[in-house]
Structure 1
Amino acid sequence: MSSHIESERLSNSLAELDQLTNWERRPRGDMRVDLEPMRDLARRLGDPQNSFRIVHVAGTKGKGSTCALIEAGLARAGFSVGRYASPHVMHITERVSIHGRPVGEERLADALGAALSAFKDARREATDGQGATWFDILTVSALLIFRSERVEWAVLETGLGGRWDSTNIVQSDVAVITNIDLEHTEILGKTRAAIAFEKAGIIKRGATVVTLLPEADEAGAVVSARAAELGCAVRRPTVPADATIEQRNVAVAGVVLDVLGKMGVMTKGASAMSEPLGEQLLDPSTIESARLPGRLEKIAVITSHGDNAKVNVVLDGAHVPFNLAAVLSDLSQEEKYRAPCIAVMSIADDKDAAGLLSTMTRHDISIIFTTVGARSRSPEQLKTIADTLGLLSIVMIDPLEAYQEALAGATESGAWVLVTGSLYLVGIIRAA
């Protein structure tokens, strides 16, 4: 089948899907409080989630990269692995990967077709599935793909929260909670403890819990209490206080692989002796293979401004203050990122704009505010906040023009460029 026809089939399925409630695009003030629509869809499709073993990952930040590292470790151990993630940066197929590569358009279109058909049956019969959301349909499509591809392990990233997230119909071997910070407070709660309660909803009896949250921490205490209630062991990686984002993610993924090894999961493959899984699977080349687009992605751009000068550009979709602070701190450990910075930035309406911008006041950063659609906060409003914080900024509505302006300014002044605040913005710049 030609790629054009595949693209068209996928576009048609997505257009139909977009007519459903899309939690990612709607105002975030309300959230459903049960998983029955998701369970009904899965039942109609033969409960695909029971066909493979699962590592389930929640947390405020680092989920995607941690999932990719666990996936890479399992693949290196000889298993067939699927990974489900959100959001995507460039193309929706990135959300479902098989053996470390985005699923084909044809395969995704087939799965969406089956899921939409189950949804229509539920509507006709007026069962719980009629309340399914955009994310439910996509999630059940991913589970269908994993079953048809006969994956042995699936690594599932929650979309929002945990307790009522579409992914939470599964029984996992390991439940991972990377960290907890204030995000989506209008849905998940106003305190870190309240948010931890939602994310700890992914813990199931029989699973082992892996988290970076210390037991003495208010969020860590909630996770520990939930694990104790269900009789689950908790494993905490030890990381130095000044560990980089990547070192933390690798430490979490390494402990997950250790836990699986202690459960008796052995490496496969003809060449070597079988041995228990463990953090040794995460060697430098495996870590490198797990890098995701738009997460601390460093590129050198040859610009047409001046004598084909080279500008260091970093793409990172950080949209939570503590994550942006960690990104800037990690980068400042490298000489080339100690120069002044020009940031191209868009921030969604439901994000803590003042918090994000105040983390930038500790660095030599000027900002070009832009917009990537209906859910972006107006760049003029962002400029007003920046002014009160003493940050230099300008507004350029078109994101590609804003990026070109940043490159031109960086060429002239010897600065580097950071594209941040939104993965959608990162996707637009990356595509260009």
Structure 2
Amino acid sequence: MAQEINPQQRTLEQWLTWMEQCHPSEIELGLDRVRQVSERLAVDLSASQVVTIAGTNGKGSTVRYLQTIYSSAGYSVGCYTSPHFLYYNERVELNGQPVSDQLLCDAFYAIDQARGQIPLTYFEFGTLAALLIFSQTKPDLVLLEVGLGGRLDAVNIIDPDIAVITTVALDHQDWLGDTREAIGFEKAGIFRTGIPAVCGDPDLPESVLKHANSLKAPLYRAGIEFHINCDGDLCQFKGKGVDGTAVSLADIPRPELPLPNAATALQVCQLLPLVISEDQKRVGIAQARLTGRMQKVSYQGINFCLDVAHNPEAAGLLADRLALWDKPILILGMLKDKDRAAVVEALLPVISEWHLVDLDTPRGGTAAELASFLPDDVKPYQHATVTDAINYLVNSEKPLQDVMIAGSFYTVAEALSVLKRD
């Protein structure tokens, strides 16, 4: 019989394996358990400005815009995001760098000691670890990305100084409801009484508006209180200050990440008390990059582009970007609980050749299932893995156009494990 490892001596990998096994459910929404453990740990983020960011799409790029803007101004910034691509440490960043294995292991040990008999999911352990690390390191700004929904997500034990909803679309319907109104209500659960709420969706569900009004939360809406327009390579932002006065910022370089999220981030900047210059905002917007979001990687002489687009809204945004290309080849792998038919339909007009892959994960869909959503006159290639698809294209004798890889975090993570070998 294997000897039990002393928790204080566990490696990060051993902690992660143990955390996966110590709760019967991957997801168990609710705040009581995680709040109780947080109080035992004396988690306190009062030394930091806190922005909590929920939304169907655009959370990661909004976090990255804010991180690069405030880092360029010399502020210390802590970011908590999920999921990760290659290394768990990617979920918890301080000043643009993933935290060390040791810092995470120390946090997991403290959480395990504090929880007693309280069960925690893998995500709740991770959220508490990030909060504990930020409580100890006290960065000027803490950016917390909601994992699922908002109202019952573990992140929501923290009262933010600003709450953000990027977009509201149909996703995670088994957990959040099957209408935009129901999903909007769940995401608006991060709002607090009298605290500014910034919403990047120009078509907000009524449930979001009602909840903001009930809390008397000042609401800043894309297309109403703030917007951004571009002319060529330069953009102009117009928004509102805390006192309601009009503000503007011209000559912003057109960003690499999605433009609507840049506007959302710039509106947040108008409401935070951390002082930054106009040039620091421009630099932050221009420098923002994010793994798996229109990420370009050259491998074996081929230009690959990776985007995690995994639901209809994200696929529509990706299709708009690809409409400017010369019809790329697509490697697509998706989870079976996503709206695969709608994603395929959105991408169909902008793709020249389809390479469909199986995803080897419990929720993973197959290439054959994806093929069933294509019209009869489209003949896709089918591969057992993302790696197989990449190798097939690399070894192809025909000249290749750009290759797009999309459909899931799992798809992009496996692709990165191959493409980063160069």
Q: Which TM-score bucket, shorter chain as reference?
A: 0.7 to 0.9
**TM-score of the aligned structures, taking structure 1 as reference length:** 0.83
Residues 82 and 98 of structure 1 are in contact (CA less than 8 Å); yes or no, is this contact kept in structure 2? yes
- Structure 1: unaligned runs, 5 residues or longer: 1-5, 124-129, 268-276, 304-309
Q: Which residue of 2 aligns with 1:306?
A: none
- Number of the residue aligned with 1:314: 305
Give 2:175's aligned amino acid.
I
Structure with more strand by fraction: 2
RMSD of aligned C-alpha atoms?
A: 2.3
Q: Residue by residue, what CA displacement relative to the aligned partner does 1:101-136 show, whole Å, maximum 9, x if unpaired?
A: 1111111111111112223x1x1xxxxxx2421111
SS of 1:362 mapped into structure 2 = helix
Q: 1:343 aligns with which of 316, 322, 330?
A: 330
Distance 2:342 2:386 in 1: 22
2:264 to 238, 252, 271: 252
Q: 1:149 aligns with which of 137, 150, 155?
A: 137
Q: Which residue of 2 aligns with 1:14?
A: 16
CA distance in 2, matches of 1:347, 1:78: 39
- Looking at structure 2, the residues matched to 428 and 288 of structure 1 have their Cα atoms a distance apart, in angstroms, of 28
- Counting only pairs closer than 5 Å after superposition, residues 73-84 of structure 1 correspond to structure 2 as 73-84=69-80
Aligned to 1:358: 345
CA deviation string 1:371-420 (max 9, x = no partner): 232221122111222245x43312110221111213344x6143211111
Report 1:69-108 matches (<5 A): 69-108=65-104
Aligned to 1:270: none
Aligned with residue 423 of structure 1, among 393, 398, 409: 409
Cα 1:391–1:181 shift into 2, 3 Å: farther
C-alpha spacing 1:354/1:241, structure 2 compared with 1 (3 Å): farther
Residues 20-169 of structure 1 aligned to structure 2 (within 5 Å) = 20-21=22-23, 26=26, 31-32=28-29, 34-119=30-115, 121=116, 123=117, 130-169=118-157
The 1:224/1:22 distance shift into structure 2, 3 A limit, reads farther
CA separation of 1:213/1:50 partners in 2, compared to 1, >3 Å: closer, same or farther? same
Per mean C-alpha deviation after superposition, the further-off stretch among 173-182 and 367-376 is: 367-376
Deviations 1:182-237 (Å, cap 9, x if unpaired)?
101111111111110100000011310111223xx3x3432221111111111123
1:96 Cα offset (Å): 0.2
Q: Distance in 1 between matches of 2:161 and 2:24?
A: 29
2:318 is matched with 327
Q: In structure 1, how many angstroms separate the alpha carbons of the residues matched to 2:151 and 2:47?
A: 22
TM-superposed deviation, 1:321: 1.4
- Supply the AA of the counterpart residue of 2:348: T
Q: 2:212 aligns with which of 227, 234, 237?
A: 227
The 1:133–1:71 alpha-carbon spacing in structure 2 relative to 1, beyond 3 Å, is: same
Cα offset, 1:241, TM superposition: 10
Q: Is the 8 A contact 1:58 1:161 kept in 2?
A: yes
Q: Secondary structure at the match of 1:93?
A: helix
Structure 1 residue 351: Cα displacement: 0.6
Query: Superposed, which structure 2 residues align to 1:161-180 within 5 Å?
Result: 161-180=149-168
Q: Which residue of 2 aligns with 1:299?
A: 297
1:401 alignment partner, SS class: helix
Q: Supply the distance in 1 between the matched residues of 2:12 and 2:411 (Cα, whole angstroms).
A: 23
Secondary structure of the structure 2 residue equivalent to 1:110: helix
Name the SS of the counterpart of 2:373 in structure 1: helix
Distance in 2 between residues matched to 1:84 and 1:386, nearest whole Å? 37
Describe the shift of the 1:55–1:417 C-alpha distance in structure 2 as closer, same or farther (beyond 3 A). Answer: same
Aligned mates of 2:336, 2:24 — CA distance in 1: 16
**Residue 417 of structure 2 aligns to which amino acid in structure 1?**
A
Shift in Å, 1:9: 1.2
- 1:398 counterpart = 2:385: yes
Partner amino acid, structure 1, of 2:264 = V
CA separation of 1:51/1:18 partners in 2, compared to 1, >3 Å: closer, same or farther?
Answer: farther
Structure 2 counterpart SS, 1:361: helix
Q: Could you tell me the TM-score, scaled by structure 2's length?
A: 0.85
Whole-angstrom distance in 2 between the partners of 1:143 and 1:295 = 26
Deviates more, 1:356-365 or 1:71-80: 71-80
**Conserved in 1, the CA contact under 8 Å of 2:305 and 2:403?**
yes
Query: 5+ unaligned residues in a row in structure 2: which ranges?
Result: 1-7, 232-253
The aligned counterpart of 1:385 is 373
Partners of 2:277 and 2:220 in 1: CA distance = 14
Q: Is the 8 A contact 2:330 2:351 kept in 1?
A: no
Could you say what secondary structure the match of 1:428 adopts?
helix
Q: Secondary structure at the match of 1:248?
A: helix
Q: Give the paired residue count.
A: 383
In structure 2, how many angstroms separate the alpha carbons of the residues matched to 1:135 and 1:101?
21
Q: What SS does structure 2 have at the residue aligned with 1:386?
A: coil
1:239 aligned onto 2:219: no
